[in-house]
Every structure is written in structure tokens, then in C-alpha cells.
Amino acid sequence: MTLRNSVKRAAQRVLFHLAIIGPGLITASADNDAPGIATYSMAGSTYGYAFLWMILVVTVGEVVVQEMAARMGATTGKGLADLIRERFGVKVTAFAMFCLLLANFGTTVAQFAGVAAGMELLGISRYLAVPVAALLVWLLVTRGSYTRVEKFLLTLCLCSLSYVVCAFLVHPPWSTVLRQAVTPAFHFETGYVLALLATVGTTITPWGCVYLQASVVDKGGTPQEYRYTRLDVVTGVAFGNVISAFVVICTAATLFVHGIQVETAEQAALALSPLAGPWAKYLFNVGLLGASLLAASVLPLATTYAVCEAFGWERGMNNQPQEAPVFYGLYTGLVALSAAVVLLPGVPLFPLMWLSQTLNAILLPVLLVLMLRLANDAHLMGAYRNRRVTNVLAWGLTGLIVLITLILFTAPL
């Protein structure tokens, strides 16, 4: 009887945690998108395990930022763009939305490029794979409720576990991995600085803040239940960055030790095959496809939430298309146009991705300052406004991002 009760209580705890996860896990997992996997693959193949410590640092910063966004959503019942418009006016909101729209469009194109690359590694043409993926993403959102969409996106999050399996297949020296993960190392060279910038930029994103806060509101989060939302955020960030670390471990244990450097996720998958066997290649590719589909679903949603909030239009997946025509119309347009760009011959995808990341770098410090002012507003947040330690960490992170953004624009390529 005692054993049965123990098993029952353990099962209840597992079911409880499964019930509360959602926006936090989806947002953090979507950060490991096609550009993100490319960034971690490049870092692992170029700098080995010496890059792992940076992922620990970024994890702390991401928890601070995402927790602040989730808390504002649960407390106010409003999205971030909605609060910015009410507090700072139309001009500031219009500038932020313009940057977000351009940056998210470029990054959404990158997700469909990731789908194209992943399917071509399996011998399937992009001219078949990309339209099918775009249709799947479109049907998912336009024909489902928030609960159904969330369940599907959470399933896609599980694809990233393939990187964990892949890492164990390549047998890295775990003692070295653990030691370098807690030992800060810095290389004073342009390539390493840019890799650090890319890691921060692909992990802590403006669209992530917007999407998380909007999805907390859409899910019906309340201040009374916020402790569960916070647990979801922290768990999601931890999961997402553990996966990032395993991508670095995979490429460091195989490519770095053989002096092979890659710049894209598909290059990493191809290079893994002769070194670690075909299963490693396919596992790496499963993670790339899952991440690309997840982010291709979430990024247009983040954009449509933000734009509709900013201008007071009806939004939300629990509304029917006729009830929120701008929300669904903008989502449809972003998905269709992004997929079409990938299918155009000769389109320079890398410059487009670079432009999107540059716009993210410009917008993120601005967005963080606005978030900090909102989260410290006693009238708006009441007892849920920022604590001192959160302000110290968040302002410190904002200053660091401003500094590395300046380096981004001044460092020689």
C-alpha cells in the first residue's frame, strides 16, 4: 500500500507539472531555431567545450527577462505591445512594431530555409517540403484553439531531445565537458566576440518577450496562479538552454576535435555522418526540422499578437477568423510570404538573416528599457512590480546588450 501511494503521488506530481507547462517551454524551445542551431554548431565546431560557460550566463539573463514578461501578462491581462501603446504612445509603439515586423519576417524566412535544408538532407525537394510545411503551420493556427495549438507545439519541443541522444552517441569526455562548462574563457578575437553576440541574440529575443506575454494572457494566466506560470518559465528556459548545450557538445566532440568548422546546421549534420555514423546525422536533422517548424509557427504568431495589440485589433487563437480578420490575415501573409521567399532561386538568405538579427540587436535594448519601466510601475503592477534583485540583473543585462551591440557594429567582419 505504501509503495502504491508513493507511485500515485509521484504520478500526480508528474501530471501536475505537465499540466502547467506551455508558454514558457514553447518560447524557450523556439529560441533554438534554425539560426540558433547554426550558431551553436558553429560555436562548438570552432571553440569546442570552451563555449559552454556562456550558455550558463545567458540562461540567467533569459530567466530574468522572460519571467518579467510573464509576470506582466499574468498581472495586467494585457500583451506587451498593448502596454507599450498605453504607457508610451503611438510613435514609440509604431517604431517598435516596425522593427519587430522586419526582424521577425527575416527570421521566419530562416525557419523555412531550415525546413528546406533539413528535408533536402533526406532527399526531399524544398519545392515540395516548404509548401507542405507552410500549409501545416497555417492550418495549425487558423483551424485550432489555443489549447490544441499549444499541445502540438509542445510535441514539437520533444524533437530537440534528439540532440541529447546524439551527444551520448558521440561519447564526449564528460569530465572535460563539466569542467569547461563552469570555467569562464574568453578569446579576444572578432570571431569569438561575434559568436557571443549571436548566442545572446538568438536566445534573448524581442519576439520571445512579446510571444510569451501574449500567450500567458491567451492561456488565461492570473496573479493568483502566477507561481505556476513562473515555474513554467524557469523550467522552459532551463530545458531550452540544456538543449543548446547539447548541440555544442555534439559538434565539439566530433567536428572540433577533427578541425572541421561549420557555419550552418545542415553542414554540421552532414559532417557528423562520417565521424559518428549515420544515426547522428539523422538525429541532428530531426532536431533541426522540429525546431524550424516550431519557430515557423511561433514567430508569425508573435508578430501578429504584437501588431494587433499595438493598434487595438481583435486577436487570439480562441477567436474565429471572422472575429479577428487582421490577426489571421497578417499571420497568413507572413507564413505565405516567408515560404515563397525560400522558394525563389538566387535569393541571398544569409544577408536577410543577418539583417533580421541586426534589427533584433537594435530593438532588444529599447524593448528591455520599456519593459523595465512597465514592470516597475507601482500603479500598473502593484505588489507584483520588480524586486531590487530583478532590477539589478535586468539593468545589468540591458547595459551588457547595449555594449555588445556597439561591438557588433564596430567590429571588423
| Rounded average pLDDT over 371-386 | 90
pLDDT tens-digit profile of 160-199?
A: 788 888 888 888 899 988 898 888 877 767 677 777 777 7
Burial 304-325, CB ≥16 within 10 A → b, else e? bbbbbbbbeeebbbebeeeebe
Distance CA 22, CA 155 (A): 11
pLDDT tens-digit profile of 304-314?
A: 888 888 888 88
Higher pLDDT, 94 or 360: 94
pLDDT given at position 340: 92
Q: Which residue has the cell 502566477?
A: 226
Report the chain's mean pLDDT, rounded to a whole number.
79
Q: CB of 375 within 8 A of CB of 385?
A: yes
Cell of 91: 510613435
Distance CA 105, CA 396 (A): 29
In total, the chain counts a number of residues equal to 413
- Taken in order 411, 398, 80, 35, the sign of the CA dihedral is positive
pLDDT given at position 348: 67
254 exposed, middle or buried (CB, 10 Å; 0-12, 13-18, 19+)?
Answer: buried
Distance CA 263, CA 41 (A): 7
Quote the percentage of the chain above a pLDDT of 90: 7
Three-state SS letters, the chain: CHHHHHHHHHHHHHHHHHHHCCHHHHHHHHHCCHHHHHHHHHHHHHHHHHHHHHHHHHHHHHHHHHHHHHHHHHHHCCCHHHHHHHHHCHHHHHHHHHHHHHHHHHHHHHHHHHHHHHHHHCCCCHHHHHHHHHHHHHHHHHCCCHHHHHHHHHHHHHHHHHHHHHHHHCCCCHHHHHHHHCCCCCCCCHHHHHHHHHHHHHHCCHHHHHHHHHHHHHHCCCHHHHHHHHHHHHHHHHHHHHHHHHHHHHHHHHCHHHCCCCCCHHHHHHHHHHHHCHHHHHHHHHHHHHHHHHHHHHHHHHHHHHHHHHHCCCCCCCCCCCCCHHHHHHHHHHHHHHHHHHHCCCCCHHHHHHHHHHHHHHHHHHHHHHHHHHHCCHHHHHHHCCCHHHHHHHHHHHHHHHHHHHHHHHCCC
pTM of the model: 0.82
| Rounded average pLDDT over 274-295 | 76
pLDDT tens-digit profile of 23-36?
A: 667 776 667 777 77
For residue 49, pLDDT beyond 60: yes
Residue of 393, 155, 376, 116 whose CA lies nearest to 265: 116
What is the number of alpha carbons within 13 Å of residue 123 lying toward its C-beta? 1
Q: Locate the domains of the chain by residue range.
A: 29-410
pLDDT given at position 14: 44
Banded pLDDT at 376 (limits 50, 70, 90): very high
For residue 77, pLDDT beyond 80: yes
Distance CA 69, CA 56 (A): 20
| Rounded average pLDDT over 107-123 | 83
Higher pLDDT, 218 or 358: 218
Distance CA 281, CA 358 (A): 31
Higher pLDDT, 52 or 15: 52
Q: Which residue has the cell 572578432?
A: 190
Matching CATH number, 29-410, of 1.20.1740.10, 1.10.1040.10, 3.80.10.10, 3.30.830.10: 1.20.1740.10
pLDDT given at position 6: 56
For residue 394, pLDDT beyond 80: yes
Residues 6+ apart with CB under 8 A from 190: 411, 412, 413
| Rounded average pLDDT over 385-408 | 82
Higher pLDDT, 199 or 209: 209
273 exposed, middle or buried (CB, 10 Å; 0-12, 13-18, 19+)?
Answer: middle
371 exposed, middle or buried (CB, 10 Å; 0-12, 13-18, 19+)?
Answer: buried
Distance CA 240, CA 28 (A): 5
One-letter amino acid identity for 396? G
